[in-house]
Structure 1
Amino acid sequence: MNLLFLLLIPIWVLSSPALSVPLDVKPDPPASDPVIPTEKDPFFKNSSDLGAHSPARLEVAEVNLVHHQDLNKKILVALVVSSSLLGVILLLLSCFWIFRLRKKANAKSHKKSDAAYGVSFGTILDKFPSMRIGGKKVSIAAIEYPLLVTATNNFDEANILGEGGLGRVYKAHFNDHFHAAVKKIYAGGLEAEREFENEVESLSKIQHQNIVSLLGYCIHGEARFLVYEMMENGSLELHLHGPNKSRLTWHLRMKIALDVARGLEYLHERCNPPVIHRDLKSSNILLDSNFHAKLSDFGLAVTGGNSNKANIKLSGTLGYVAPEYLLDGKLTDKSDVYAFGVVLLELLIGRRPVERVAEAQCQSIVTWAMPQLTDRLKLPNIVDPAIVNTMDLKHLYQVAAIAVLCVQPEPSYRPLITDVLHSFIPLVPVDLGGSLRLTDSAVSTCA
């Protein structure tokens, strides 16, 4: 309002009669007795008087008229300029007011959506301090040990979701609306401590729809605990090789491959510095209630992108480790691409990456499948029987070609994960995150 008042002052000043430029108006002559003209006293005695006085008076009148017109123009211009400025200011104020209203509305909607996804757990996490690793503060909250004991029913075996090399994963019920997965890392050892710190440091900086979220951590004596978001459908390994092997359709498998490629593309191309997962495998690919795939277990992750890591200790899982890393210790982002190719073969064939063929002999899925992947006659015969009736042969050949490129022994022959990602988008239906539009008959076949 003060701004509007200051703008109105010059308009009032210009339009005020007291402060405007005085007009050239002569006062009326003093009153006197009227004189009736006669022939002896005419208005103009002769024609020379008319010529002497008329032009001067006309010139004065014209000057006064021009002066009045200039003054009116100045007042009009001042009014137009002031009105324009006033209009612009009112428009800006209106835009600012609308922006504030929308910002408040968006904030309310975000709060509602967070509550719908169970972020009420955040009120629990806010009670605990953040962690410091290597002198750097990370934004993962510390959780008290008694809270984990209560949520997992004292780590009851009935709540075990899975088991890895360094520990078990338990289902935790924090309240009726929020569940999470608690990973208990076996106590002792520098390796366990290093992987614990690496996991916390890596996931505290990474947020992506295809990477599992780390919610908190706990240190209790020598034991270490990590709290993740709940992934209701477990790991991809359980669905492909577990005791209750599920019948994942062709399009669901392609969706999972696309999700994994998106997660790797984020690590390789979007993170700064780039991140190499180094332990990509089907057991580290988790599925939520809608079969959205997310990468997990970043204990072995390495930052630094494409540079050789010859001084890094050899780690990983047999069958997924790239040849150059296994033989020469050279680690690049193409090592993750090789592991992705092995996962892709698991999705296509339904076999484990390494299988025992004799008492003291094992065979890799890459060695066994490579000659048949490039033969269009043999390829349909090695596909997982669970997807034979739901796949498109043309798409099968395309996926097999991608897998062959990803598992090439020479790293330079393997594609970038970005190229793999763009190759999968046309193979996945629109409703599953790709660009493929299915006909009604194809939809019924997939169902």
Structure 2
Amino acid sequence: MGVDRLIRRIGPHLLPWLHKSPYGPILFVRHLSYKDIKKATDGFHRIIYCNSHGTAYMARFQDGGVALVKEVTSQEKDVFYREVQLLGRLHHRHLLPLRGFSTGNKRVLIFDSIENGSLKEHLSDPLKTPLNWRTRLQIAIGVAAALEYLLLFSDLPMYHVSITSSSIMLDENFTAKLSDVSLLSSGGNDVTVPHASCPEECVVPDRGNLILQLGVLILELITGQCSEEGGADLIQWVQGSRFASSMHKMIDPDLGNNYNSSELKRLLTVAKLCIKSGDKPMFSIPQILHYVQKKLDVSRD
């Protein structure tokens, strides 16, 4: 892969510099050449998605490797290095791992390869291979598993998380990788997550928003419709009085009849519960994950 080859080539020359970080050595994350990253992103013009926390670009290296490069905005130098260190410690099958960082006119984070691009591409681009039903189930469960990890098992104190079809990447096996995770900053609709040692009664201020995003994502997987405006249209549909009668019309035509109708109804039930939660979630992410795995008989990966 392009990122790995670049790391092997320049890493030995830059290792001493890494120890200058005020937070100590940045393990398993390398400082890459800004010039090389700029070239790989075509001068930072290959945009994958953009939000208030920065822009993500596709980096295509000479050997054919493809990676995600994310610009970090409105951060002091020390805060940027802290984010590099903390994100570098996250390891989960459904999180896009941080491989490197670079500084120049922009401060950027370089994440792992994204062979099959974003989920949005496969739902909306007619030239992309349609996703089968089983793959869509695995994507929904994978995203929920990544959220469970971030909420319960990582030691990252607080961070912003955004779940959209644009920010979910697919690897060579179409395994979902959550890419939009960053250190909490001031302002915006951040999700504040307590430390893993925080007791059960700890309140996560925007936990309801996170569960809402998961519900909208599930609707996107079922309908094949990508909604970047908070999913207002999909939410209106699933909450409408004609939902039951229109359900069969909203199923993604790319699925044809190649899906399990019982599984689809159960997944829709999960989406409705997520959306109905509002600011006061009725269920936690671990409970949602457990329910989906149990009802859909899909093993956890």
State if a TM-score over 0.5 links the two structures. Answer: yes
Separation of aligned partners in 2, 1:191 and 1:119: 27
How far apart are 1:364 and its partner, in Å? 2.9
Distance 1:245 1:143, change over 3 A: closer
How far apart are 1:398 and its partner, in Å? 0.6
Separation of aligned partners in 2, 1:269 and 1:390: 35
CA RMSD, 1 decimal:
3.7
- Aligned counterpart for 2:250 among listed residues 357, 363, 382: 382
Q: Is 1:148 matched with 2:17?
A: no
Aligned length: 282
Q: 1:214-233, CA deviations, whole angstroms, 9 ceiling, x for partnerless residues? A: 1111112x322322211111
How far apart are 1:267 and its partner, in Å? 0.3
Structure 2 residue runs of 5 or longer lacking an equivalent are 191-203
**Which amino acid is the alignment partner of residue 407 of structure 1?**
I
1:4 corresponds in structure 2 to none
Distance 1:218 1:273, change over 3 A: closer
Q: Is the 8 A contact 1:255 1:428 kept in 2?
A: no
1:211 corresponds in structure 2 to 95
1:229 corresponds in structure 2 to 112
TM-score by length of 1: 0.54
Q: Is the 8 A contact 1:276 1:336 kept in 2?
A: no
Separation of aligned partners in 2, 1:195 and 1:315: 19
Q: 1:220-254, CA deviations, whole angstroms, 9 ceiling, x for partnerless residues? A: 2x322322211111111111124635421111110
Task: Name the % identity.
Answer: 24
Q: How does 1:305-320 map onto structure 2 within 5 Å?
A: 312-315=186-189
Structure number having the greater helix percentage:
1
How far apart are 1:131 and its partner, in Å? 6.6
1:291 corresponds in structure 2 to 174
Q: Is the 8 A contact 1:250 1:387 kept in 2?
A: yes
Separation of aligned partners in 2, 1:196 and 1:297: 15
Distance 1:242 1:232, change over 3 A: same
Q: 1:52-76, CA deviations, whole angstroms, 9 ceiling, x for partnerless residues? A: xxxxxxxxxxxxxxxxxxxxxxxxx
- Aligned counterpart for 1:172 among listed residues 60, 65, 70: 60
Q: Is 1:266 matched with 2:149?
A: yes
Distance 1:363 1:212, change over 3 A: closer
Distance 1:118 1:241, change over 3 A: closer
Counterpart secondary structure, 2:139: helix
Separation of aligned partners in 2, 1:373 and 1:354: 23
How far apart are 1:182 and its partner, in Å? 5.1
Separation of aligned partners in 1, 2:238 and 2:79: 33
Q: Is the 8 A contact 1:215 1:229 kept in 2?
A: yes
Q: Is the 8 A contact 2:98 2:110 kept in 1?
A: yes
- Aligned counterpart for 2:133 among listed residues 219, 231, 250: 250
**Which amino acid is the alignment partner of residue 237 of structure 2?**
W
- Aligned counterpart for 1:185 among listed residues 71, 79, 94: 71
- Aligned counterpart for 2:263 among listed residues 374, 378, 395: 395
Q: How does 1:399-414 map onto structure 2 within 5 Å?
A: 399-414=267-282
How far apart are 1:210 and its partner, in Å? 0.8
Separation of aligned partners in 1, 2:257 and 2:215: 23
Distance 1:315 1:412, change over 3 A: closer
Q: Is the 8 A contact 1:346 1:352 kept in 2?
A: yes
How far apart are 1:347 and its partner, in Å? 0.7
Separation of aligned partners in 2, 1:194 and 1:333: 28
Counterpart secondary structure, 1:407: helix
